[in-house]
Structure 1
Amino acid sequence: MNIFSNEYFTLTAVENRVYISVFAPEYPFTEFNKVLQAIPRVQITQFGNLRNAIQQSLSDRVEVGRLKPEYELNFSPDHMRVTVRLHLGEEDFKAKHREITSEIFKALQQKGITEGILYDTLNGPYTNQELIIAQGKAPINGEDAIIRYYELSERKPTIHQDGSADYYELNFIDEVEVGAWLGEKVFATEGIPGRTLKGSIVPARTGRDKPLYYDKETVEEVVMEGKTELRAKITGAIMMLGRNISVQKVLTIHGDVGPKTGNIDYDGSIQITGTVTDGYSVKATQDISILGTMGIGAVESITSETGDIYIKGGIFGKERAVITAERDVFVKLANDCTIRAGEKINIGLYAMGSKLYAKYVYLDKIRGKIIGGLVQAQVQVVSAYIGNEMERPTVVQIEGFNRNEVKKELENLLKEYQDLLSEVEKIRKEVDIFDEEGEPAKANDGIPKKDFIYYWAKQESSMDKIHQLEETRQKLMSYLSAKGDGEIAIIRKAFPRTIIQIKEMEKHIEFITTGSFYVSENKLFYE
């Protein structure tokens, strides 16, 4: 069969083998690509033979390639798609359009393709690109359950445009009434099955269910259409205990703590709208919030065993008041008092003649002042001013930490974190085998029901560990936010007769100083 001829050579095909016969010399070999574009059915497989035949003007027939079919169908192994590629030039295709189209659809039927045929594919503009001629219906997997919880107010000061921090207005306790919304789970949805081109059903995955974590003593589930809501069973303050949302009892004192109330010792959170009279004490297992604008004076003690303390109006302690919190303390000002916090002390205006003990002590970067007294922190102290123009003796000490050990601990934690994530993913695949009743999703594809309970419990245990690791990671990152092995940051001025000590390194400020002091490799640095 004669395929192509010009004044230099002829291309012929015998049983799908392509041959060239050259009868005139000096044909530009680089021009041969134009020939291939004109006859896309020709595929050159023996370039050496082609080059020799043209360059040496070989008149004898030389095999150079193969003749491709007018079209090729490609069937995906999963019977979800068939593509077609045309090996005809545009003019040939237009001339044979009806014949080629009929042959292609007949070939599909012979392969058992009965659904998803795209009859209009070959009616568009000509192209030699691969086209999808038949497409199965892919399954649509169900949506996973969506979990939402009440967003607790963030316990940190509002930062104004000038950089100052407002420690006076904190949404400290999120109070709710019985029946209040605390969270919800929008149910996972069923998937929509698909179909192959041969009519077989392709199952869809049902969306993953997710558990709601809550304290069953104080929170209950209310099943509604399409979702389950969490509602408060008691009036109180919302708390997150690990991953569980709960409602803790809140004792609200409308007015002052004093002769009418006596000392307060309460299992839960305490909110006082007034003040605490001199000589009286308040103790709570959870948070304490004292909202009186006048603050407190020479109280005996204010103690939170596991939570935070917020004193809106400040402390005028007369060298008697002792404030102790397991976590953080937020206060407008601290005057002649002692504050102990397991994590952070946050002060808005000043600390004067006070003793402050915490991992971190933060005062406002614009107005905050530490004047007199003693500050002992483990990691970092930040203040706009330390000391005053009257050169009142002020001591700020940093216990310090080993930065390299913290980094190593963080690296080990992240490795453990990644290992746990991989383990959870493996466990989840086992759990996904089961339906909501804990039965295998496929008759002979499952593990015994008792193993489902085992895997589910293991998954929950791993998730609890991940949650704990995340809390530890945040604490380690806080350490590394300080410079060196411990830092004292003076944003504006430190005055003479201020003593700075970090680990064993001590510095007496002899003139007004600004900057950060920190220790690294047993050396004191200033910048």
Structure 2
Amino acid sequence: MQIYTNEYFTLSSVDNRVYISVFAPDYPFTEFEQVLQAVPRVQITQFGSLRKAIQQNLPERTEVGRLKPEYELVISPDYMKATIRFYLSEDEYESKRQELTGAVLKALQQQGVAEGILYDALNGPFTKQEVLIAQGIQPVEGVDAVIQYYELSERKPTIHQDGTVDYYELNFIDEVEEGDWLGEKIPATVGMPGRNLKGGILPARKGRDKPLFYDKETVQEAQEDGKIVLRSKINGAVAKAGRTIEVQRVLTIRGDVGPKTGNIDYDGSVQITGTIMDGFSVTATQDISVLSQMGIGAAESITSENGDIFIKGGIFGKDRTVITAANHVFVKLANDCTIRAGEKIHIGLYSMGSKLYAKYVYLDKSRGKIIGGLVQAKVQVVSAFIGNEMERPTVVQIEGFNRAQVKQDLDELLKEYQTLLAEIEKIRKEVDLFGDSGDNGDNLKGTQKKDFIYYWSKQESSVDKIHQLEEARKKLMAYLSAKGDGEISIVQKAFPRTVLQIKEMEKHIERITTGSFYVSENKLFYE
């Protein structure tokens, strides 16, 4: 069968093999590409034979390639798509369009394609490119449950100045009333199954459910507009215990703690709009806030057994007042008092003649002053000024820590963290195998339900451990934020008669000094 001829040669085909017969010399071999474009079905597989036949003007028939089919139909192994490519010229295609369309549809049918045929694409304009002519429907995975909780205010104090007065501001207690929103869950969706070209159903993964963690004594859940909404059962203060949201009871004293109220001892948080009079005390299991701009005088004691303390004004303790918090203390200024914090002490303006004990002691970097008294910290002290122009004796001590040990602890924690993440992913796959099992395996029975509860509990236990490790990681990273094995940072000036001690190393300031002092490898460094 002759398939192409020009003034130099003829191409013919026998049993899908392509032959060339040359009958005129001097054909430019570089122009043969134009022949292939004119006859798309020809595929040259023996270029050496083709070149020899043309260059040596060989009249006898020489095999040079093969004849491709009119079209090539390809169906993916997963039967999710079918493509076609036509090896015809545009004129050939248009002259045989109906015949080709019928042949392709029959070929699809013979290979089991029953759905997803794209007729518009199959009957579309001619192109030499591969064309998608059948498409399966991919399953749409379900969306995981989305959970949102009440966002607690960040406890980051700031000093505001209006020209006459410095205001020490901090969003400390997040108060809510009964019925207030505390969180919500948009349930997981089931997804949509897909179908392949044979009509086979492709199941969709259901979105993962996530539990809401809340204290059932103070928080309740209800179905609202397709969501599960958490609302407060009581008036109080929002708090988080690990992943669990709760409402702590708040005692609000509108006015002063004094003869009318007596000493306060409360299981929950205490908020005082006034002050605490001299000689009186306040003890609470949770947070304590004193909101008077005037602060407090010689109160006996203020103690938070498990939370933080915020004193909006200053402390004028007359060497009597003792402030103790399990976590942090925030105060505008401290005069002649004792402050003990399990974690950090934040002072806005100055500490004068006071004793401060904590892991970290921070004063404002531009105006904060430590004048007289004693500061004992485990990790770091930061202040703009230490001492004063009158050279009042001031002692700042850092107990210090083992930096190498902290790094080792952090490395071990991160390894455990990675191991837990891998374990959680493995457990989640086990949980997914149970499919639509309900929130607590309600749709399962017998051994299946028992296994589901086991894996679900194991998963939640591992996630709780992840949260614990994250809190531990933050504490270790805070240690490493200090220089060396303990640091005293003087942002502006340290004055003479200031004594700095880090571990066993001691430095007496003899002239105005600025910079950081820290200990590393049992040596005191200054920079």
- TM-score normalised by structure 2 residue count: 0.92
Q: Which runs of 4+ in 1 moved over 6 A?
A: 440-443
Seen in structure 2, the aligned counterparts of structure 1 residues 23 and 327 have a Cα distance that, compared at 3 Å, is farther
8 Å CA contact 2:223, 2:229 repeated in 1: yes
2:209 is the alignment partner of 1:209: yes
Separation in 1, partners of 2:339, 2:23: 105
Question: Within 1, Cα distance between the matches of 2:126 and 2:362?
Answer: 72
The within-5 A match list for 1:147-162 is 147-158=147-158
Residues of 2 paired with 1:259 and 1:120: CA distance? 89
> Structure 1's 85 and 502: CA in aligned 2 closer, same or farther, altered over 3 A?
farther
1:436 aligns with 2:446: no
Change (3 A) 1:489 1:27: farther
1:499 aligns to 2:499 (yes or no): yes
Task: Map 1:256-405; keep pairs closer than 5 Å.
Answer: 256-405=256-405
The offset of 1:52, in angstroms, is 4.9
Residues 508, 111 of structure 1: CA spacing in aligned structure 2 closer, same or farther, 3 A cutoff?
Answer: same
Report the AA paired with residue 436 of structure 1: S
- Deviation digits for residues 206-240 of structure 1, max 9, x if unmatched? 22211000111111111234111112122211110
Q: Does 1:45 align with 2:60?
A: no
Q: Percent identity?
A: 75
Which region of structure 1 is more displaced relative to structure 2, 516-525 or 461-470? 516-525
Aligned to 2:419: 419
Match of 2:241 in 1: 241
2:437–2:443 CA contact under 8 A, matched in 1? no
How far residue 137 of structure 1 moved from its aligned partner, in angstroms, is 2.1
Deviations 1:346-401 (A, max 9, x none): 11101111111111111111111111111121222111111111111222222222
Cross-structure match for 1:463:
463
Q: Which stretch shifts more, 431-440 or 308-317?
A: 431-440
CA–CA separation in structure 2 for the residues paired with 1:305 and 1:51: 95
Query: Partners of 1:49 and 1:234 in 2: how far apart?
Result: 93
How far 1:303 sits from its partner (Å)? Answer: 0.9
Q: Which residue number corresponds to residue 193 of structure 1? A: 193
Shift of 1:49: 4.2
Shift of 1:495: 1.6
Q: Aligned partners of 2:316 and 2:425: how far apart in 1?
A: 55
- 2:449 corresponds in structure 1 to 449
Structure 1 residue 441: Cα displacement: 8.3
The amino acid of 1:525's aligned partner reads F
Report what 1:520 is aligned to.
520
Tell me how far apart the structure 2 counterparts of residues 108 and 402 of structure 1 sit (CA, whole Å). 73
Residues 405 and 190 (structure 1 numbering): CA distance in 2 closer, same or farther, change over 3 Å? Answer: same
Deviations 1:305-343 (A, max 9, x none): 111000001111111111111111110001111111111
Secondary structure of 2:108 counterpart? helix
Alpha-carbon distance in structure 2 between the residues aligned to 1:305 and 1:376: 21
Q: 1:40 to 1:383 in 2, by over 3 A?
A: farther
How many residues align? The count is 521
- Preserved contact between residue 167 and residue 331 of structure 1 (Cα < 8 Å): no
- The verdict on how the C-alpha distance between 1:344 and 1:55 changes in structure 2, with shifts beyond 3 A counting, is farther
Residues 167, 330 of structure 1: 8 Å contact kept:
no
* Greater Cα offset, 477-486 or 179-188: 477-486
* Letter of the 1:147 counterpart: I
Match of 1:131 in 2: 131
Q: Deviations over 1:175-204 (max 9, x none)?
A: 112222111111222322222222233222
Which amino acid is the alignment partner of residue 153 of structure 1? Answer: S
Q: Note if contact 1:433-1:442 (Cα within 8 Å) is conserved in structure 2.
A: no
In the superposition, relative to structure 1, how do residues 442 and 174 fare at CA in structure 2: closer, same or farther (>3 Å)? closer
Give the residue type in structure 2 aligned to 1:146: V
How far 1:261 moved relative to its partner?
1.8
**1:475 partner letter:** K
Query: 2:12 — aligned with what?
Result: 12
Q: Is the 8 A contact 2:49 2:63 kept in 1?
A: yes
> Secondary structure in 2 aligned to 1:120?
helix
Give, in angstroms, the shift of residue 478 of structure 1: 1.4
Alignment partners' CA distance in 1, 2:38 and 2:99: 21
What's 2:180 paired with?
A: 180
Measured after TM superposition, the shift of residue 167 of structure 1 is: 7.3
Asked whether the equivalents of residues 4 and 12 of structure 1 are also in contact (C-alpha less than 8 Å), the reply is yes
Output the CA distance in 2 between the equivalents of 1:23 and 1:370.
Answer: 107
Higher deviation after alignment, 26-35 or 123-132: 26-35
Inter-CA distance 47–372: structure 2 relative to 1 (3 Å threshold):
farther
> What one-letter code is carried by the residue in structure 2 that aligns with 1:389?
E
Q: Distance in 2 between matches of 1:428 and 1:45?
A: 54
Deviates more, 1:67-76 or 1:399-408: 399-408
Alpha-carbon contact 2:356-2:374 (below 8 Å) kept: yes
Moved more, 403-412 or 53-62: 53-62
Q: 1:63 Cα shift?
A: 3.4
The residue aligned with 2:78 is: 78
The 3-state SS of whatever aligns with 1:452 is helix
- Write out aligned runs for 1:91-170 (5 A): 91-158=91-158, 168-170=168-170
Q: Secondary structure at the match of 1:261?
A: coil
Give the CA RMSD over aligned residues.
2.5
